[in-house]
Structure 1
Amino acid sequence: MSSASDHPWDHEADATGVRMRDVMGQLLQKLRYEPTVKRIRATLGGQTVVDTTRAMLVWEPRRVVPGYAVPDEDIRAEISLRSSPPFENGSVGFMLPDLSKIPVLDPRIPFDVRTTPGEPVEVRVAGTDATAAGFRARDPGLAGYVILAFADFGSWFEEDDEIISHPHDPYGRIDIRGTSRHVQLILDGHILADTTRARMLFETNLPARYYLPIEDVVAPLEPSSTRSMCSYKGSATWYSAIIGDRRLDDIAWQYEHPLSDAADVQDYVAFLDERLDLVIDGEQQKRSVTPWS
């Protein structure tokens, strides 16, 4: 019969817990990959050049979103070597202090910024000028695979649904919750928005965002020419806010036709509160540090 001390949870070495975000931050510095059972297809030059059920999701070190890696034999195009870009030395990227002590690479950082050894290649549709960048990572787990530059292809599909911006992270998600907290956005004493009807959007590894009914936005908003894409939420329209004789460029955004995951914030407005004073129930919040600060 075993004694209580025989149980693994009784050992001192197992008694210290870990914060999940700290674990994820440590993993950011490693090359990570995960097989996906989804059928992945991509078009280039109007032709389907990728069709596979053997794709991998790959995160190069410091990358916060994955790319697709595809077996050579599932690429219906010519693959050839191309010149090698310089290896990244840690000077490029954005800070997410709550996740990592080193700069992270978000989707705005070009594909050819390399953080792991390997071999750059080019994918070309035979007889055309349609090309895309690729990369063979020097890792046994990815032997025979090419990581493909998502933005170089015309379209991507998981099964029969189109994917925009970048592949979805199976370990990331968004949740939306209604809240009756008193939310105010203020700058230099000027109130931009004031509501008790916000919807909070929680996204893995990012600060919570407060989406507000347009009726509760006090500052005049002017549409901007800026547009952005989110793989989970869709295409966003950006706005500048007018405070007296001051204009805050691209300070707010709205999803007019969101993807299904973000349907609950359709037509609501969110602000870059990294650049504003966010007051919740009368208490000013510490400004978050993000790639948009």
Structure 2
Amino acid sequence: MSSPSEDPLDFDADTTGVRMRDVMGQLLQKLRYEPTVKRIRATLGGQTVVDTTRAMLVWEPRRVVPGYAVPIEDIRAEISTRTSAPLQKGAVGFMLPDLSKVPVFDPRIPFDVRMTPGEPVEVRVGGTETAAAGFRARDPGLANYVILAFADFDSWFEEDDEIISHPHDPYGRIDIRGTSRHVQLMLDGHILADTTRARMLFETTLPARYYLPIEDVVAPLEPSSTRSMCSYKGHATWYSAIVGDRKVDDIAWQYEHPLSDAADVQDYVAFLDERLDLVIDGEQQKRSVTPWS
């Protein structure tokens, strides 16, 4: 029989519970990386310039979505140094107060806005003017790797499937659940939508979204020229709503041809409830603060 000192449950570690979101928020200001076993490929100027099974997912400080870092040996292009903006120290970014006390960098923040020491580089297709931005972080865990600007490339593939917007986060996901809660969206006393047939979309670190049957949207919607894309959900079409005697621009969106993860919200409409009054089962909700507030 083990003595008390040999008991594997007898230790002095702090066993106080922690909220996972708080742990994620604390890590947000660090440089984070994770190897991926997926084959990663990228095209630039019509050529495959990245083909590797040794990629890293990299979250630079304050970035909420990852990028790809690739071994230099697996980049089929010319790599040279370039000049970029100096290391950022200011409070650029967007507030996500339930996660972080400092502004976060979502995909809209330019690639060259960073908190990581290192060397900006350029990846150029040989003999052409076609180039993409890269960055070599001064960190031993990323030695001989180049972090690549996702948006500068023509296309990206994980194995044989194309990836849009940004790499998938292995620690993030979306879930969709049907709900019979009474959901109402209002603005200045006008009802925009009223349903008991919503589908709730839960996405890691973000507030739950309510996707509504188009038949339960009361306010007239007008298509706008705005388009967006999500790595998990696909390409979205945006709408403006007529509320009373005014038009509220880009307040709702719809995935007409969603990716497989979001198939259950195809043709449903969601609203930016950060800018509206969301009433659930008769109780008005506090407006969330997000990068889209």
TM-score range, shorter chain: over 0.9
Deviation at 1:8, TM superposition (A): 6.0
Match of 1:65 in 2: 65
Match of 2:249 in 1: 249
Which residue identity lines up with residue 254 of structure 1 in the other structure? Q
Percent of matched pairs sharing the same residue: 90
Distance 1:213 1:7, change over 3 A: farther
Matched-pair contact (CA < 8 Å) for 1:164–1:231: yes
Which residue identity lines up with residue 200 of structure 2 in the other structure? M
- How far apart, in 2, do the equivalents of 1:3 and 1:182 lie? 59
Match of 1:22 in 2: 22
- How far apart, in 2, do the equivalents of 1:10 and 1:217 lie? 58
- How far apart, in 2, do the equivalents of 1:204 and 1:151 lie? 22
Which residue identity lines up with residue 185 of structure 2 in the other structure? L
- How far apart, in 1, do the equivalents of 2:63 and 2:165 lie? 14
- How far apart, in 2, do the equivalents of 1:15 and 1:123 lie? 48
Matched-pair contact (CA < 8 Å) for 1:94–1:290: yes
Deviation at 1:3, TM superposition (A): 6.8
- How far apart, in 1, do the equivalents of 2:52 and 2:236 lie? 31
Distance 1:9 1:60, change over 3 A: same
Superposed CA deviations along residues 156-207 of structure 1, whole A, max 9, x for unmatched, are: 0000000000000000000000000000001111100000000000000000
SS at match of 2:278: strand
Deviation at 1:50, TM superposition (A): 0.3
Match of 2:177 in 1: 177
TM-score norm. by structure 2 comes to 0.97
Deviates more, 1:36-45 or 1:9-18: 9-18
Match of 1:156 in 2: 156
SS at match of 1:23: helix
- How far apart, in 2, do the equivalents of 1:267 and 1:26 lie? 37
Match of 2:37 in 1: 37
Superposed CA deviations along residues 8-39 of structure 1, whole A, max 9, x for unmatched, are: 65667433101000000000010000000000
- How far apart, in 2, do the equivalents of 1:22 and 1:116 lie? 22
Distance 1:7 1:121, change over 3 A: same
SS at match of 1:252: strand
Structure 1 outlier segments of 4+, above 6 Å = 3-6
Match of 1:291 in 2: 291
Which residue identity lines up with residue 21 of structure 1 in the other structure? R
Match of 2:213 in 1: 213
The residue correspondences of 1:165-204 to structure 2 (distance < 5 A) are 165-204=165-204
Deviation at 1:85, TM superposition (A): 1.6
Which residue identity lines up with residue 72 of structure 2 in the other structure? D
**Aligned length in residues:** 293
Match of 1:147 in 2: 147
Matched-pair contact (CA < 8 Å) for 1:90–1:103: no
Which residue identity lines up with residue 64 of structure 1 in the other structure? V
Deviation at 1:284, TM superposition (A): 0.5
Deviates more, 1:239-248 or 1:261-270: 239-248
Deviation at 1:249, TM superposition (A): 0.4
Structure 1 residue runs without a partner (length 5+): none
Matched-pair contact (CA < 8 Å) for 1:90–1:102: no
Which residue identity lines up with residue 118 of structure 2 in the other structure? G
- How far apart, in 2, do the equivalents of 1:4 and 1:263 lie? 54
Superposed CA deviations along residues 212-260 of structure 1, whole A, max 9, x for unmatched, are: 0000000000000000010000000000000121111000000000000
- How far apart, in 1, do the equivalents of 2:22 and 2:9 lie? 21
Which residue identity lines up with residue 168 of structure 1 in the other structure? H
Matched-pair contact (CA < 8 Å) for 2:228–2:236: yes
Distance 1:4 1:223, change over 3 A: farther
